[in-house]
Amino acid sequence: MRVVVVGATGNLGSAILTRLHEEPSVTQIVGVARRMPVATDPRYSDVYWHELDIGESTAAARLAGIFAGADAVVHLAWALQPNHDEESLWRTNVEGTKNVLAAVAAARVPQIAYPSSIAAYSPGPKKQRVDESWPTGGVHTSHYSRHKAINERALDRFEEDYPEIVVTRFRPGFVFSRDAATEIAGLFVGKLIPLGWLRFVHLPVVPLPPQMVAQIVHSSDVADAFWRALDRRAAGAFNLAAEPVIDGNVVASVFDTTWLPVRLRVARFAAKLTWKLRLQNSDPGWIDLGALVPIMSTERARRELGWEPQVSSTEALAEIVHGVADHARVKASPQLRGSL
C-alpha cells in the first residue's frame, strides 16, 4: 500500500507516520509538509518527502502528481495561527482542503481520510451522547469550528461527485500527546506567558465554567483509528474519544487541586480581552467550543473498526500538562519543536 500523508509533521501526522511504519503492508509512505523535518528521526525516516504549501494556487496540480499511484491520501494539514488573521487561516484550512480534494479526484486515489473534529458539530447535549448523525453546522463564534463545518460540506459534495472514492472522516475530541506540548502551548497560550513554573508551583484552584465539558483522545489512538480505516477501506464518519469525559473535577484531579466554578461569561470576557490585547493566542471561540459542543458516542468506531483507545483521557491530559511544564518537543519537526 502506498499512502500519502499531507501535513505529516504535526501532532497527528507524526503519530500516523509512526503507526504506518508498523505495518508490513505499507510499502511506501509519502509525506507532504510546508517545512521539511529532520529525516534522521525514526518517525520521519523512510518517507519520501515533498515540501509544499497546500494553499498555493498551483498546489492542486502539484499534489495530483504526488498522489498519482497512491492507494490512500491522509489529509491532516491545518493552521491554527495566526489566530487574528482568519483570511490566512482560510487559505490553508478551506482553500487548501479544496486543493487536496481536487488532486485526489484528478489522481483517482481510491480513498481519502480526513480528520474533522468534535468542533464541527452544532451545539448539543452534555448529559447524553450523540452519534455521527448529529448536525455538523459548527459553533459560529469559533473560526476553527466554522472552517471544520465548511469542510464537512466540501466532503459531502465530494462524496456525491466521486462515489467511487472512499471518503473517511474522523471527528476526534481534542487530540493531545506529550510530543505536542510545546507546539500546543505556543498555539494556544503564546510566548508572553511562561509555563515552566508548572513544574514547581502547586495550583490552589483550577477556575473553569461548569459548562465546559469536553472529550480528549491521544494522538496515537487517533492514528490507530486512521490505519484501521485505511486497512478496511471503511467509509463514513467516526467519532473518536477516550474516557472519561473531561469536566472541571477531572481537570482539577490531574492538577491535584480543587475545581473553582466560574461564570461562563466571565471566562469568555477574560479570554476575549487578553486575546484582543495579544497577551495570549486563544480567541474566545475556544471557550464557546468547550461549552457548546456535544458529548460524542464512539460506539461506531469501536464496532466497525475494532478501535479501542489505549490511553485514557486523563492520561492524555496529564501528558500535555506535564509536557508543557517540561517544554517537551520533537526537535526534528519544525512544527512540534514549537516554531510557528
Separation CA 68–CA 2 (nearest Å): 10
Question: For 131-161, how does the pLDDT look when each residue is reduced to its tens digit (9 = 90+)?
Answer: 999 999 999 999 999 999 999 999 999 999 9
- In the chain, the domains with their CATH numbers are 2-175+217-241+295-311 (3.40.50.720)
Give mean pLDDT, residues 13-29: 97
CA dihedral 241, 335, 5, 111 (to 10 degrees): 40
Following CA atoms 286, 179, 305, 130 in sequence, which dihedral angle do they give, to the nearest 10 degrees?
A: -20
Amino acid at 304: E
Q: In angstroms, what CA-CA distances link 181 with 19, 148, 172, 312, 314?
A: 20, 23, 18, 17, 15
Q: How far apart are CA 240 and CA 321, in angstroms?
A: 21
What is the band of 340 on the pLDDT scale with cuts at 50, 70, 90? very low
Q: Can you give the pLDDT at residue 194?
A: 62
pLDDT of residue 339: 47
State the pLDDT confidence band at 186, using cuts at 50, 70 and 90: confident
Contacts of 20 (CB under 8 A, 6+ apart): 3, 5, 26, 29, 227
Q: Is the pLDDT at 12 greater than 90, yes or no?
A: yes
Can you tell me the distance from the alpha carbon of 119 to that of 289, in angstroms, rounded to the nearest whole number? 7
* CA 280 – CA 162 distance, rounded (Å): 42
Return the DSSP state at 281: S
Pure H helices in 180-284: 181-188, 219-232, 248-255, 264-276
- The half-sphere exposure of 117 on its side-chain side, counting CA atoms within 13 A, is 25
Q: List, for residues 88-138, the tens digit of each pLDDT value.
A: 999 999 999 999 999 999 999 999 999 999 999 999 999 999 999 999 999
Is residue 164's pLDDT more than 70? yes
72: DSSP letter = E
Per-residue confidence (pLDDT) for residue 200, from 0 to 100:
62
pLDDT for 291 beyond 60: yes
- pLDDT computed for residue 333 by the predictor: 80
**The pLDDT value given to residue 231:** 98
Least confident of 127-141, 193-207, 219-233, 281-295: 193-207
Position 192 confidence tier, pLDDT thresholds 50, 70, 90? low
User: Does the pLDDT at position 86 exceed 60?
Assistant: yes
C-alpha cell at 182: 510545546
